[in-house]
Structure 1
């Protein structure tokens, strides 16, 4: 299964909205990749900026796949990649 960049953003929005007790539309997400630090996300909730590391992103994707696709996946099954856009490949 492949999760698109838009779905990764949705996963993070839903995850952070649940954690911060706000609406998903109140969460802004910018996905990042850097050769030195790897994958991360800049998340703004109620005017406060927070950085998520790859492990946090994978947690959000786990929850998203379970909620949207009713499939239980674990972090070691999720592989982030980037070219022009970011995506996640999920092993079955």
Structure 2
């Protein structure tokens, strides 16, 4: 199974909103990849930004898959990749 940029961003928005006790609409996310840090995301909540690392992205995807697809997946089953778009291949 593969999910793309929009669903990854939705997963992060939902995850961060749940952790902060706010609406997912109050969360903005920009995904990134670079050679030094790998996959990251900059998250804006209430005008403040924070960076999350790949482990946080994988956690958000795990929770998203369980809530929206009723599939229990683990980090070892998720592989992030990118070219012009981001995606996650999920081994189910």
Q: Is this a same-fold pair by TM over 0.5? A: yes
**Equivalent residues in 2 for 1:10-89 (5 A)?**
10-89=10-89
How many angstroms does 1:47 deviate by?
Answer: 1.2
Q: Which runs of 5+ in 2 are unaligned?
A: none
What is the CA-CA distance between 1:37 and the residue it aligns to?
A: 1.1
Q: Could you say what the CA RMSD is over the residues aligned between the two structures, in angstroms?
A: 0.5
With normalisation by structure 2, the TM-score equals 0.98
Per-residue deviation, 1:73? 0.1
Task: Give the structure-1-normalised TM-score.
Answer: 0.98
For 1:19 and 1:37, how far apart are their aligned partners in 2? 23
How many residue pairs end up in the alignment?
92
DSSP-derived class of the 1:43 partner: strand
Q: Residue 8 of structure 2 aligns with which residue?
A: 8
